[in-house]
Amino acid sequence: MSERASSRSADTVDVEPYDPRQELGAAELRILYRAEALAKRRKDARPGLWIAVVIYVLFSVSDLLLIPDVAAYTITARFAVGLAALLTLEAQLRRGVATEWLDVTCAAAIIFGYVGWLFPASLGANKETVAYYMVFGTIFMMSANLFFTFSFKVSIITSTIILCILYVVNYFLPASLTYKMVFGTFYVSCFTFTSYVNWKLNEERYNVFLNALEAKIQHKEATERGKALLRLSRTDPLTGLENRRAIDEKLRDYWSDWQKLGNGFAAILIDVDFFKKFNDCYGHQEGDRCLIHVANALSDLIRDYNGSIGRYGGEEFIVLARMDKKDQVAELAEAICRTVETLAITHELRRDGISIVTASVGAAFTRTQAGAKLEKIIHEADRALYLAKASGRNCARLFDPTDPQSSDESENLAALLKIAIGQGLVSLVYQPIQDVVSGRVEAVEALMRLKMLDGTLVPPSLFIPVAERTGAILELGRWAIRTVCTELLADDHVPLVSVNVSPIQLKTPGFAASVATILGETGVTGNRLAFEITEGLEMEMHSDILRCISDLKLLGIKIWLDDFGTGFAGLSWLRLIDFDTVKIDRSFLHDCGTPKGMAMLQDIIALVRNRGHQILVEGVETDEQIALMREFGIDRIQGFRVGRPVPAASFQARRGVQKRPFLRSA
């Protein structure tokens, strides 16, 4: 494995737990604590001193009441000391002096504030009042020990100076011996008590610091672990590139930016040619090294284009880049081919005249927003990749809807669809639809399935567009309607079946008549059928379509609007056609985890309900979502929580058996 891939994989290494008490000694912890304490004292110095000065000056009222004869002197001293202390502190803060000097200023303010009040007060004529009034001196001692967050040393020095001054004044005060002994003892007790509390507070602050430090480190460790797990969940462990999950998220972001802001982008699929033969020849370890080299080289290339690259599975990579011009996309696709070729990794089992590893590249880019869906650009890139492989590999192809070679008619699916019905390659499965109020399965939706001659299933997203473009959808559609009638409706296995109908079928002359013929031959009444029409660009306001829908409704067939909210024609069709049911696309339900998504779903429901249509919500997968649908008054629901698509036999076997609230596939 290369050094670069190894360094990427390092993101997945667990973060080791970190205990500060084990890693740091007592001395280092004390240094950290003092540094944090200094920062806190510096922050608290200004508000602390301002509050202290305000309280100190407000005590002028007690001077006026208790020692009125010397109140003018004490009040003057209060204002002088307070103003001097504040001016000194503000000047120090402006000059950025050390925090220790701020402590000295605050401590000096306490001492001088005490002296500035005490000596003028002691000169009062009423000695008894003065003697009792001196008790307030203990407030300054408590300020030094408890109000300001001085270090223990500064607090002790400050409170000791105040205690000494108290004793000196107490000694010379003309008072009884009893008074001096009682108040002297009180001063010592106050000094001892506040000093002890100050010492305990400092110890507690240190313990709080240790706990906070440990919590901070644990939080950082948890955050790092979370980031590492997130990187792990979004990173391919072999190549270090983004994995499919991460690329799919980025693809949605690119798509959203294009839809909202018009920022076009390209999607490019890259497939390493004959990679299975490479693994068979050189072994899986060499195969892994090959993929790593290719990933590193492409990553360096894509960085210059400010794009994203990820591993899409196996030997396939995907590139997303913001660009909307054909020449830019073609240039990047060709550069990718040449970059892989330049690596010159030996590949001797190709037998196509090339002896090195190469890549086939298929590219597509955003062209028009109207009717577009997210999956379409990937599908187009995949079709372009198919053409690149069909053209001999080691080349790049850009999807071009006007190029006959890019159309689905050139693919094997077109030929397969021609023989699908005769060879039994096409079948139907049925997904239950539940009535929300009764909890019973009241209908099923018929879904078409196609398999290749070797039994491999072909996704509907691939063969349905091919069938529509080639016209095979007409025969397949008639077959589907007839099969639904014979498999489930003729013998009353289910009350109602919905069938997806293409706009191409609705445009075809005689479609309604062919449906009437099928109903007559199978003995099924039209009100047992519902046709689902998907909104989109293909559903233009065509008079033939409107006439056909009107004829179908005369037969009793219900007309449903499918995937409402995902296209651009839905509002117009709601206005023109009286749909029996409107199916709200699953994406709106799955976005209900956010307030914005919940509001969007409620708005759509209100819009449809105001038009008087019944509402069916797709994609219900949890009990919580069922409860939400009941709360919103939805008529019907469909999704894996109600039941998965199953063959007709599953419903035929239930004939005569009481229906259950939930139908599940075996």
Which pLDDT tens digit goes with each residue over 12-39?
444 444 455 555 566 676 677 677 777 7
Residue 502 in this model has a pLDDT that exceeds 80: yes
Which pLDDT tens digit goes with each residue over 147-158?
777 777 888 888
Phi and psi torsions of 548, nearest 5°: -65, -45
* CB-based contacts of 20-28 (< 8 A; 24+ apart in sequence): 20/210, 20/213, 20/214, 20/217, 21/210, 21/214
Q: Specify the higher pLDDT residue, 331 or 226.
A: 331
Residue 2 in this model has a pLDDT that exceeds 50: no
Q: CATH topology for 244-407?
A: Alpha-Beta Plaits (3.30.70)
Instruction: For the beta carbon of residue 308, count every other beta carbon within 10 angstroms.
Output: 22
Q: What is the mean pLDDT of residues 470-476?
A: 88
| Banded pLDDT at 410 (limits 50, 70, 90) | very low
Residue 482 in this model has a pLDDT that exceeds 80: yes
Model pLDDT, residue 119: 81
Q: Specify the higher pLDDT residue, 152 or 243.
A: 243
Model pLDDT, residue 661: 41
* Cα–Cα distance, 575 to 53 (Å, whole number): 76
Residue 465 in this model has a pLDDT that exceeds 80: no
Model pLDDT, residue 53: 87
| Percent above pLDDT 90 for the chain | 33
Model pLDDT, residue 351: 62
* CB-based contacts of 651-658 (< 8 A; 24+ apart in sequence): 651/430, 651/444, 651/488, 651/493, 651/494, 652/487, 652/488, 652/491, 652/493, 654/493, 655/491, 655/492, 655/493
Kind of pairing between the strands at 266-272 and 558-564:
unpaired
Write out the two tokens for 250. Answer: 């980025």
Please state which of the ranges 187-191, 201-205, 256-260, 375-379 shows the lowest mean pLDDT. 201-205
Residue 507 in this model has a pLDDT that exceeds 70: yes
Question: How far from chain centre, in Å, is Cα 414?
Answer: 41
- The three-class DSSP label of residue 312 is strand
CA-closest candidate to residue 49, choices 72, 73, 97, 81: 81
| Banded pLDDT at 320 (limits 50, 70, 90) | very high
Model pLDDT, residue 127: 72
| Helix and strand numbers, DSSP H then E, in the chain | 26, 14
- The three-class DSSP label of residue 143 is helix
Q: Specify the higher pLDDT residue, 512 or 182.
A: 512
Q: What is the mean pLDDT of residues 516-526?
A: 95
Residue type, 313: G
Q: Specify the higher pLDDT residue, 599 or 1.
A: 599
Q: What is the mean pLDDT of residues 337-347?
A: 93
Question: How far from chain centre, in Å, is Cα 501?
Answer: 36
Residue 88 in this model has a pLDDT that exceeds 60: yes
Model pLDDT, residue 143: 80
Reported in sequence order, the residue ranges of 393-537 that DSSP labels E, i.e. its strands, are: 396-398, 426-435, 441-451, 457-458, 497-500, 529-534
Model pLDDT, residue 571: 67
Model pLDDT, residue 9: 44
Q: Which residues contact 367 (CB under 8 A, 6 or more apart)?
A: none
Q: What is the mean pLDDT of residues 338-367?
A: 87
Q: Is 315 a catalytic residue?
A: yes
Residue 360 in this model has a pLDDT that exceeds 70: yes
Residue 429 in this model has a pLDDT that exceeds 90: yes
Name the average pLDDT for the chain: 82
Q: What is the mean pLDDT of residues 273-300?
A: 91
| Banded pLDDT at 662 (limits 50, 70, 90) | very low
* Cα–Cα distance, 285 to 289 (Å, whole number): 6
Domain ranges of the chain: 20-216, 244-407, 412-650
Residue 209 in this model has a pLDDT that exceeds 90: no
Model pLDDT, residue 411: 56
| Four-residue CA torsion sign, 636, 640, 641, 644 | positive
* Cα–Cα distance, 532 to 412 (Å, whole number): 28
Q: CATH topology for 412-650?
A: TIM Barrel (3.20.20)
Q: What is the mean pLDDT of residues 334-348?
A: 93
Question: 100, 128, 242, 315: which one is catalytic?
Answer: 315
| Banded pLDDT at 605 (limits 50, 70, 90) | very high
Residue 115 in this model has a pLDDT that exceeds 50: yes
DSSP 369-388: -TT--HHHHHHHHHHHHHHH
| Banded pLDDT at 445 (limits 50, 70, 90) | very high
Residue 129 in this model has a pLDDT that exceeds 80: no
Please state which of the ranges 78-92, 227-241, 259-273, 331-345 shows the lowest mean pLDDT. 227-241
Model pLDDT, residue 535: 60
Instruction: For the beta carbon of residue 207, count every other beta carbon within 10 angstroms.
Output: 11
| Banded pLDDT at 352 (limits 50, 70, 90) | low
Model pLDDT, residue 532: 93
